[in-house]
Amino acid sequence: MVRRRSLTIASVNVNGIRAADRNGISLWIADRRPDVVTLQEVRAPDNIFSEHVDRLWGKEWHRVHAESAAKGRAGVAIISSHSIANSRIDIGKPAQRFNDTGRWVEAAIDIPFLDQPLVVISAYVHTGDAADDGRMEEKLSFFAAMTKRMETIRSSGAHVLLTGDFNVGHTELDIKNWKGNRNKSGFLESERSWFDRWFNDLGWVDIARNLAGPVEGPYTWWSFRGQAFDRDVGWRIDYQIASPEFAAFAATSAVDRAPSYAERWSDHAPLVVTFKV
């Protein structure tokens, strides 16, 4: 019997790399030991980000980081035990306005046992505001730019894995209180329709949903306010979305929810997928 080789990829909005470090992310890293980690809301300049990577993962780990021009805002990164052949923060024309916002970074990662190159993306989509047309235009334009870039990478023949915090629950199964959020950003039809297009028209695969089936959640974000975490009143807004050829390797998916409110190091929990090739 041929032994299948595995690759574990985790994605998490850390709500600030410095805060996550103070609050205990190191324990999760040591316990889970993923091969690749994608981060959102790094909220740190490049030098601070690298200092934390060196301490938390090790100096030998490869990393790429898209820092936001707005100090203390956004920021996305990819950290890998495998070498990174090249990286890019340009989401493509005509969306250059997003290039300095710290919301998109991609890395071509050398995985020796894959038949094609693997391009991993870490994305952080705008929160949006249903009462603000400008903020919604910015969010929906980012989805349009994402879709165009996703298809461009896929057309190159590479395996593609899009990860991140997209600030949208796709279906009623993805938000505990979906009825109360029907007219709010995060559950608007104009946002959710992008996911319909990806999955129904273009053939991309929502790995967590594909493996979990039609169950509530599994949620990845809970407000720090009230008893949302203890009552599991959450949202599934963090995703790993793959080109169909790469999605075929997905074996398991899990949300690493903290054991208790006191042990949380972010308001999000890591979404971890293991691929077996």
Closest alpha carbon to 232 in 269, 198, 206, 207: 269
One-letter amino acid identity for 158? A
Other C-beta atoms lying within 10 Å of the C-beta of residue 117:
17
Query: What is the rounded CA–CA span in Å between residue 255 and residue 13?
Result: 13
Closest alpha carbon to 161 in 73, 259, 34: 34
| Residue listed under structure tokens 């946002």 | 191
**Do residues 220 and 235 touch, judged by C-beta distance below 8 A?**
yes
CA distance 261 to 222: 10
Phi, psi of 153 (to 5 degrees): -65, -45
Nearest-5° Cα angle at 100, 97 to 106: 100
165 is an active site residue: yes
Point out the catalytic residue in the list 165, 174, 206, 238: 165
Catalytic sites, residue numbers: 165
